Structure 1
Amino acid sequence: MTETALWLAIVAIFVLLFLSGFFSGSETALTAASRARMHQMEKTGDWRARVVSLLIANRERLIGALLLGNNLVNILASALATSVFLSLFGDAGVALATLVMTALVLVFAEVLPKTWAISNPERFALAVAPIVRFVVAVFGPIVVGVEWIVRNILKLVGVNIGDDTSILSPHEELRGAVDLQHIEGGLEKGERDRLGGLLDLAELEVSDVMVHRTNMVALNADDAPDKLVNAALASPYTRLPLWRGESDNFVGVLHAKDLLRALQAAGGDAAKINVLDIAAPAWFVPDTTSLQDQLNAFLRHKSHFALVVDEYGEVMGLVTLEDILEEIVGEIADEHDVELEGLRPQADGSVIVDGSVPIRDLNRAADWSLPDDEATTIAGLVIHEARMIPDERQIFTFHGFRFTVLRREKNRITRLRIMPLGQIPGVKMPAGAAQAVAGAAAKAGG
């Protein structure tokens, strides 16, 4: 090899290493760039953001083209380096070329550009997008052929990579992003809970958040008007279901404001009021309705209140707009709410919980992860796991916690003590248990 050819080969090697770094950095930046940020920039008129969005939309074609380009330049650079070192060092040049090119490719074509790209993927992606679009267009036909070969080879071993292949749903991707941001410190617990509650609306049913029938405040429409007025004024609730004849025969919903208007129109004489004339019709919804659908229904009907019925038409409870909003923003309390303390942290690290406390509320308050698939309340979870109705002072251990039944009324568990296993001497602390107890204490104290 002549001296001129030698120098040309060396220059070509460094140019190829630069191209390899470009392909590596571009792949990292375009796969790590936020589609949401690109979409927002695209709305402001940034044409490069539009190019990035188009490239990311066909991620498989993008990665295939960049890998093809990267392999081409790396192989060509290695071949030229081998030729150069053979001419300089003879047979030992092959080993030297391998060592030198490995070091150069690793540092300048892989680690350096990828580290640079990941430090600010959006800016890097915007810079390289116009060139990458041209690369994808040139290598596109080859990539299509490679994809076809790969798909058919994988089919031979039973792996189907078709268009209908199951992938993460948008909700799951968002949930994972929210959890990751919380772990990395980008989101506080309250923000994570609110975003998670919003994503959960499509998965929860009204039966998961409704006020159970045993806890409903309802009025007998046949009572004397003055008694109904006194009961409505004494109640902390604005809307009260009315029943007649039998306690499960609901005939309407009385609004406190409508009652006050009627009382004013009657000159303060409650005897002149007929509550059924001013009551709104009762709205019945199935217990299997998703919270997302029920929220939309509330908005369409401009209503805040519905009675929940099971498959047999029996009233199970009631659900309000506030109940659904609380799944997003947490407990909403006002000056008329009656405080029912359901969480009482103890000095020994345990927490005493009312059996009627919903598992989701307990998880949110204490930052626990008790399952709520088979039961809605904490008492229901214990009964489900025990496969029986426990007696007082019975103890169960599951899901990393010890549950002690403190009080039982008939077939209902009304009070439990929950102790994280890590608080028990000789038992290993489960992940997050210390933070859970602290969270429960903060919830009860607030």
Structure 2
Amino acid sequence: MIVGYVIAILILLMMSGFFSGSETALTAASRARMHALEKDGDKRAKTVNRLLANRENFIGAILLGNNVVNILASVLATTLFTTLFGQGGLALAMATAVMTILVLIFSEVMPKTYAITRPDAVALVVSGPISLLVRGAAWIVKLVQIIVNGVLRLVGAGTAVNPLSAEEEIRGAIDLHAAEGGVDKDDHLRLVGALDLKDLTVEDVMIHRKNIYMLDADLEPRQLIMKALSSPNTRIPLYRGEKEEIIGILHAKDLLRAAIPLGGDLSGLDLDAILRKPWFVPETTPVQEQLNHFLSRGQHFALVIDEYGELQGLITLEDILEEIVGAIHDEHDVQIQGVRPQPDGSVNVDGWVPIRDLNRATGWELPDEEAVTVAGLVIHEAQTIPEPGQSFVFHGYKFRVLRRQRNQVTGVNVSKAEAAAAVD
């Protein structure tokens, strides 16, 4: 009889361990990996995904089974110790102590530790039995959920919390692996950059009008050709009169095709015939939408205007791709970084440099919600146009104005506020 009690208690402890490990494995299993395995035809992964689709049911069923076997094991243990030591507090105390130790070690810590180290593998193994348990205990779990939800509503805790969106979950996973060293800095920037596209507008990534290389359409043809060929760009906006008056886009290939047949006599060059019609897009256009426009129209170049139709800058397909893969340079690019690290750990930055580019180059986290460029951020936070030599501390960083041209801040030294204080 005593042997029977011991065997029954051991079986119940094993069942409790099975339930505990199953709960840990299923809640920690990778949904992405299970989805991939299901696509490959793994029936066990399909069962896991079905369980994960309704967590309340399988967690309720597991808790039900676990509590039943734990209570039953405790009852049997109390009966066993009463038989051995007679009625009294000693038997009850010994039963409580022994069962607490056994349940803690063999039914909780050990199975959960094992399951958390290999959640996907364990989840695949236990998915079948747990699925049967969920179906068998469905009506009991449903009744328990009704009671629980009713009590939660009575105490004002019944409002469900919105779960993380798929994007938030992906972003969180990327940030976690980057923090743990599983994803290097460049890969982290590329992955996050792809997710950030939908939150950016054309204004955030465009080349500002002050940095656009453009030519006067009234230049003498030979001079125009020489300037066009010396440019690192293949597409060049042409203006007539004011620089705001863009009359067309000159493509280097179109220019060469028209100039070569003329030999040395370029006076017959018909510039208007080879100019391409400029494509104007609003600065508020989402970057993701602009990328789709580039792909659908087969064009890689657009001019950016504000709500009044004034030229603000230009955007290319390369500018958008660089938000994902980082700076793209070829043998014709002019390497103007605008970001110059200093020996003391600070950075000298040209005012026109976008905040996003500075963050990418330094790994900092300067905000770019209220301003696009470094100069814009300084002016926005200072609420004035500062003079050279003035210093400010915003968002944990120190900004010291180096240069100012008229009403424009053209050079800033930026450093972390803690590092700047240590140097001072």
Length-normalised TM-score, structure 2: 0.94
SS of the residue corresponding to residue 137 of structure 2 reads helix
Measure, in 1, the Cα distance between the counterparts of 2:152 and 2:239. 65
Task: Indicate if the aligned counterparts of 2:300 and 2:316 stay in contact, CA closer than 8 A.
Answer: yes
Counterpart for residue 129 of structure 1: 127
How far does the alpha carbon of each residue in 1:40-88 deviate from its partner, in whole angstroms, 9 at most, with x for none? Answer: 2222221111111222222232222222222222222222222222222
Counterpart for residue 185 of structure 2: 189
Task: Indicate if the aligned counterparts of 2:258 and 2:269 stay in contact, CA closer than 8 A.
Answer: yes
Structure 1 residues 367, 273: CA separation in 2 closer, same or farther (over 3 Å shift)? same
Counterpart for residue 315 of structure 1: 311
Are 1:42 and 2:38 an aligned pair? yes
Measure, in 2, the Cα distance between the counterparts of 1:275 and 1:62. 73
Q: Which residue type is aligned with residue 46 of structure 1?
A: D
Q: CA deviation at 1:207?
A: 0.6
Q: CA deviation at 1:299?
A: 1.0
Q: How do 1:92-171 and structure 2 match up within 5 A?
A: 92-162=90-160, 165-171=161-167
Task: Indicate if the aligned counterparts of 1:229 and 1:270 stay in contact, CA closer than 8 A.
Answer: no
Measure, in 2, the Cα distance between the counterparts of 1:229 and 1:279. 13
The equivalent position to 1:340 in structure 2, one of 316, 336, 339, is 336
SS of the residue corresponding to residue 243 of structure 2 reads coil
Q: Identify which range, 228-237 or 87-96, moves more after superposition.
A: 87-96
Q: CA deviation at 1:268?
A: 5.4
SS of the residue corresponding to residue 198 of structure 2 reads coil
Are 1:221 and 2:212 an aligned pair? no
Structure 1 residues 426, 229: CA separation in 2 closer, same or farther (over 3 Å shift)? closer
5+ residue gaps, structure 1, are 429-446
Measure, in 2, the Cα distance between the counterparts of 1:299 and 1:13. 68
SS of the residue corresponding to residue 323 of structure 1 reads helix
Q: Which residue type is aligned with residue 296 of structure 2?
A: R
Measure, in 2, the Cα distance between the counterparts of 1:51 and 1:339. 55
Task: Indicate if the aligned counterparts of 2:398 and 2:420 stay in contact, CA closer than 8 A.
Answer: no
Measure, in 1, the Cα distance between the counterparts of 2:400 and 2:383. 15
Q: How do 1:406-417 and structure 2 match up within 5 A?
A: 406-417=402-413
Counterpart for residue 169 of structure 2: 173
Q: Percent identity?
A: 56
Measure, in 1, the Cα distance between the counterparts of 2:158 and 2:320. 40
Measure, in 1, the Cα distance between the counterparts of 2:97 and 2:45. 40
Task: Indicate if the aligned counterparts of 1:217 and 1:240 stay in contact, CA closer than 8 A.
Answer: yes
Q: How do 1:235-246 and structure 2 match up within 5 A?
A: 235-246=231-242
How far does the alpha carbon of each residue in 1:193-219 deviate from its partner, in whole angstroms, 9 at most, with x for none? Answer: 111111111111111010011111122
SS of the residue corresponding to residue 202 of structure 1 reads helix
Q: How do 1:49-68 and structure 2 match up within 5 A?
A: 49-68=45-64
Measure, in 1, the Cα distance between the counterparts of 2:69 and 2:267. 93
Structure 1 residues 270, 41: CA separation in 2 closer, same or farther (over 3 Å shift)? farther
Task: Indicate if the aligned counterparts of 1:421 and 1:427 stay in contact, CA closer than 8 A.
Answer: no
Q: CA deviation at 1:170?
A: 1.4
Q: How do 1:83-98 and structure 2 match up within 5 A?
A: 83-89=79-85, 90-91=87-88, 92-98=90-96
Q: CA deviation at 1:371?
A: 1.1
Q: Identify which range, 405-414 or 212-221, moves more after superposition.
A: 212-221
SS of the residue corresponding to residue 403 of structure 1 reads strand
Counterpart for residue 75 of structure 2: 79
Task: Indicate if the aligned counterparts of 2:22 and 2:123 stay in contact, CA closer than 8 A.
Answer: yes
Task: Output the aligned Cα RMSD.
Answer: 2.0
Q: Identify which range, 367-376 or 134-143, moves more after superposition.
A: 134-143
Task: Indicate if the aligned counterparts of 1:306 and 1:320 stay in contact, CA closer than 8 A.
Answer: yes
Measure, in 2, the Cα distance between the counterparts of 1:279 and 1:147. 71
Task: Indicate if the aligned counterparts of 1:209 and 1:319 stay in contact, CA closer than 8 A.
Answer: yes
Are 1:252 and 2:248 an aligned pair? yes
Counterpart for residue 267 of structure 2: 271
Measure, in 2, the Cα distance between the counterparts of 1:36 and 1:269. 66
Length-normalised TM-score, structure 1: 0.89
Q: CA deviation at 1:272?
A: 2.6
Q: How do 1:263-412 and structure 2 match up within 5 A?
A: 263-267=259-263, 269-412=265-408
Measure, in 2, the Cα distance between the counterparts of 1:202 and 1:138. 46
Q: Which runs of 4+ in 1 moved over 6 A?
A: none
Q: CA deviation at 1:260?
A: 1.5
How far does the alpha carbon of each residue in 1:270-314 deviate from its partner, in whole angstroms, 9 at most, with x for none? Answer: 333323322222222221222222112211111111111222222
Q: CA deviation at 1:339?
A: 1.8
Structure 1 residues 422, 266: CA separation in 2 closer, same or farther (over 3 Å shift)? same
Task: Indicate if the aligned counterparts of 1:232 and 1:240 stay in contact, CA closer than 8 A.
Answer: yes
Q: How do 1:206-217 and structure 2 match up within 5 A?
A: 206-217=202-213
Q: How many residues align?
A: 422
How far does the alpha carbon of each residue in 1:310-369 deviate from its partner, in whole angstroms, 9 at most, with x for none? Answer: 222222111111111111111111111112242222222222111222111111111111
